[in-house]
Chain A
Amino acid sequence: MRNENPFDDLEIDPRLNGRELTKRIRKIIEKAPVQARADIQANWEKLTLREDERVHYALTAHPRPESASASAIRILRSNIPLPTSRLQTDAATLTRADVIVWEETTVSIQHLLPKYDQGK
């Protein structure tokens, strides 16, 4: 089979246009370790230097709408808006829901315990 599709490789939405692609890939490069940057750069060139290749790759990449982000589940969880109660109440009246720690681990009851109860 052909080499990796750059859209699949970079885990980005094939429907992005050239400008959005550059913006998105720049963000990816900024966060990537130095040794991975050359590969990302090569993929960026594949997608932005020739418009016909971008179209070919976009059509042969798996659809990747926003709701199918390839980010780690931990990161996806962190994107979930916090419950309203936390935003509206002051620190003196915290509820249990306000202090739930949203971490990507096997869910156990320990993670759901309010922190201020632990010393008692």
Chain B
Amino acid sequence: MKWWSPAHQAVLNALDAQDVVPELFNLLTSGVIQANERDTRRLRDWPEALRDSPSWTILADAIQCKSDPQMAWNHAQREGFSDRAAHHNALLLLELSDRLAQGRSFAGSLRCVVWARDAWSQLYSSGYLDSLVHDLDAQLPPESTVEIVAALLCPTLEDRRQAVLNELQKSEADLDSEAVSHGHKWFDVWRGFAPDGAQLAADRVHTSVATFDMKTNGLVAQRMAQAITDIDLTTANDEIIEAPFRLAWRQIQALGLPAPAICELIGHLISTLWTLRRVGRDSIPAFADLVDIGILVAPHLAKTIESGESIGQNSRLADLYVFRAERDRGDVRREFLGLALKYCPGHRNASMLMSYQHLYDAQAALALLATTIRPASVKTTLQKVHDSLKATEAAFPLNEDLAEHWERFQKACLKNKIVPGAFDEK
């Protein structure tokens, strides 16, 4: 009789799985997830499939020596897995990613999903899935099976998207930003899905990622708009006015600062600030708080403007910088007005405020001339007045107080026996 039969192999595989599967779970999840009995039963083929792979010696060493799990698996990937092992890896790593996320081991979950993506790439690139479909002898037209194979990952991506959307529906107190951020990063991993010779599968995944972006941005914008519409800005207290913006900002940060959501937030913020000003409530704390939220968002909006991702947002950004500039004097004001004019050179309010800032400098220098001043400094001070008035004129030629200050400058020149035109030449 044959001493080694399939029945012997089945027992050996079952016993092997009992030993090896828990070790591999430790390796892949850094000990966070322990394999249970169900895992070892359904994965009885996995150790044998891995043993048939060129990478087995690396994994065996890693199990034996308890070496760095991440490095070991990356090394094993480079050495290569058999397609059957890759099939187990692709399914299991997606599942482990999910289980790790449920246990809030987000870094481990992202590591697993990167490995899962690579395993799926192998399955698609190697033609393994097509050959498996052939073996299944399905009574389907070929185009249907092609579509089924291409869309294999879509249900998993849909589930993950729905989980993030559910999280985004929660109130600010209940919002789990880390979970949303993990969801965003999880989808980011799939942006890099590019299996050789499987363009349709890549397209299906990329469409799913684009849908994630669209739906999450849409939900943030929709919730914010609805909440703001429900607020009566003439009577609402500070907390009620600020709440939708605080929530949206947290959501947007967790979603990796997407440009469309940033634009929505700034749009609603600016419109709310103007409304508060119109109804005479621009001195309530909420006004300053909204400006502060806006200033946190502003650099990100600026970046999207510079990269060309956002178009037509310049004046809103300038509005925001002007609101912030109004709060301070001197260099701080000048800095914010400078930013406003950088992104929107023709911005009327920024130009006007900047013009008055220069006029204020001219005024301060004229006041210095009226007090005791060393004769040697007179010319320098007059030069400063002249330059500030020129800057005032350049910033906002319609400044109503400009003419009066030019007059004062000329008088001061005459008093000090200096021809006013002398400064123009410099």
Task: Give A residues with C-beta under 8 Å from B.
Answer: 1-2, 8, 11, 14-15, 17-18, 51-52, 54-56, 58-71, 73, 76-77, 79-81, 83-84
With A2-B155, A68-B44 as given contacts, are A81 and B5 in contact (CB-CB < 8 Å)?
yes
Write 28 A-B pairs (CB below 8 A) sorted by A numbering.
Answer: A1-B98, A2-B155, A2-B159, A11-B42, A15-B132, A15-B136, A17-B136, A52-B140, A55-B133, A55-B140, A58-B132, A60-B152, A62-B42, A62-B43, A62-B88, A62-B92, A63-B45, A63-B87, A66-B10, A68-B10, A69-B10, A70-B44, A73-B14, A73-B15, A76-B10, A76-B14, A83-B1, A84-B1
Verify A70–B41 contact, CB threshold 8 A: yes
Chain B contacts with A in 1-51, Cβ cutoff 8 A: 1, 5-11, 13-15, 17, 41-46, 48-49
A52 to B155 alpha-carbon distance, docked (Å): 14
The chain B residue with its CB closest to the CB of A14 is: B136
- 9 closest residue pairs by CB, A with B: A68-B45, A68-B44, A79-B7, A67-B9, A70-B41, A80-B7, A76-B11, A84-B1, A1-B98
With A60-B91, A64-B45, A70-B41 as given contacts, are A77 and B11 in contact (CB-CB < 8 Å)?
yes
Chain A residues lying within 8 Å of B156, measured Cβ to Cβ, are 1-2
Q: Is chain B's interface secondary structure helix, strand, loop, or mixed overall?
A: helix
A57 to B152 alpha-carbon distance, docked (Å): 9
Task: Give B residues with C-beta under 8 Å from A.
Answer: 1, 5-11, 13-15, 17, 41-46, 48-49, 84, 87-88, 91-92, 94-95, 98, 129, 132-133, 135-140, 144-145, 148-149, 152, 155-156, 159
A55 to B7 alpha-carbon distance, docked (Å): 28
Verify B10–A55 contact, CB threshold 8 A: no
Within 8 Å by CB of A81, from B7, B14, B88, lies B7
With A68-B48, A76-B11, A80-B5 as given contacts, are A59 and B140 in contact (CB-CB < 8 Å)?
no
The chain B residue with its CB closest to the CB of A69 is: B10
Chain B residues lying within 8 Å of A64, measured Cβ to Cβ, are 42, 44-45
Within 8 Å by CB of A55, from B5, B13, B138, lies B138
The chain A residue with its CB closest to the CB of B11 is: A76
Known pairs A54-B136, A62-B92 / 6 extra A-B pairs, C-beta < 8 Å:
A54-B138, A55-B138, A66-B6, A68-B10, A68-B48, A80-B11
A43 → B minimal CB distance (Å):
14
